[in-house]
Structure 1
Amino acid sequence: MRESHVTEITQNKKDYLSLLLLADEQENMIDLYLERGRMFVLDDSGIKAECVVTDEGDGILEIKNIAVVSGSQGKGYGRALIEFVEEKFCREFKTLQVGTGDSPLTIPFYEKCGFTRHHVIKDFFTKNYNHPIIECGVQLVDMIALQKDLEKKRS
């Protein structure tokens, strides 16, 4: 990533629906947070990734959606967006949180970015999605919430 830059998207967020659906495959679930969230896109000779964060109260900023374009995954774009969010919001929030399925695709990524498991939301995927969510051949049932202390970023 040589000349990449991050831009906040404040209007027409649905223009990025195909990218949002990579991380959250049901549009009505995206609709629950998209307008109240702050959306950022990373451009590196074209849009490579997006991230939507929301204020969940009590000093918690939550990543509701983060996705990297197919073909650009594994190149540091997701990590770069997380680092951008941490820097931008470390003085406003105490904790950065993300909820994801118990998947070998996502949990190790977040752990490498410094997140630790915090709590489990039982049956989240089976209760909130109108179809089974399958990753790596396994149906996702519970949501795993991971957190990272943002106060350490303040210096």
Structure 2
Amino acid sequence: MKIRKVETDKKRYLDLLLLADEQKEMIDRYLERGTMYVLEDDGAKAECVVTDEGNGILELKNIAVEPVFQGSGYGKALVEFLIRTYAGRYVTLQVGTGDSPSTIPFYEACGFRRHHVVKNFFTDHYDHPIYEDGVQLVDMVYLQRAL
């Protein structure tokens, strides 16, 4: 398993990016200003994008694992990589996600704790309803962990 930084042509991983953020226009808001990493294990299995949000905050904007490999530890490996890579350079790693029964427990298992909620984020910023695990996402839940 190898994690490498993607410097150019980030959109070649659009299929992976869309697993975590299903509206291309939303991805376009952060992809080029963000730093992208791809986890390879006999081919690309997962990706993540982080952005500098100022005030010592690094935000995990997108993290996705190929569906057939979800639950294999690749997502956790990416989060641990980010913690190692950015510890001492940032104070906090944060992530915003829908209040979903699959994503919140993943982040909590990685040491994140709920921080704040942005009401109606998904209904206000996406052009169609977003569902995850049969639940419509409405509010954005922000979680944070110390670096």
TM-score tier (shorter): over 0.9
Cα deviation code 1:29-84 (max 9, x no counterpart): 00000000000000011111000000000000000000001100000000000000
Partner residue of 2:84?
A: 87
Tell me the distance in 2 between the aligned counterparts of 1:16 and 1:138: 26
Count residues with an aligned counterpart: 147
Q: Tell me the distance in 1 between the aligned counterparts of 2:122 and 2:42.
A: 35
Q: Structure 1 CA distance, aligned partners of 2:78 and 2:18?
A: 17
Q: In structure 1, how many angstroms separate the alpha carbons of the residues matched to 2:122 and 2:78?
A: 25
Matched, 1:128 2:118: no
How far has the Cα of 1:138 moved from its partner?
A: 1.5
Answer yes or no: is 1:44 the counterpart of 2:28. no
What SS does structure 1 have at the residue aligned with 2:16? helix
Instruction: Flag structure 1 segments of 5+ consecutive residues without an equivalent.
Output: 151-155
Q: CA deviation at 1:137?
A: 1.5
**How big is the alpha-carbon RMSD for the aligned residues of Structure 1 and Structure 2?**
0.4
Q: Percent identity?
A: 65
Scaled by the length of structure 2, what TM-score is found? 0.99
Distance 1:34 1:81 in 2: 17
1:21 Cα offset (Å): 0.1
> SS of the counterpart of 1:108?
helix
Aligned AA (1:67) = A
Q: Counterparts of 1:7-46 in structure 2 under 5 Å?
A: 7-46=4-43
Report runs of 4+ in structure 1 exceeding 6 Å deviation: none
In 1, Cα distance between equivalents of 2:40 and 2:12? 15
Q: Distance in 1 between matches of 2:107 and 2:99?
A: 11
SS of the counterpart of 2:69? Answer: coil
Question: In the TM superposition, what is the alpha-carbon distance from 1:88 to its structure 2 partner?
Answer: 0.5
SS of aligned partner of 1:114: coil
Give the 3-state SS of the residue equivalent to 1:21 in structure 2: helix
Name the CA distance, whole Å, in 2 between partners of 1:106 and 1:70. 14
Secondary structure in 1 matching 2:67 = coil
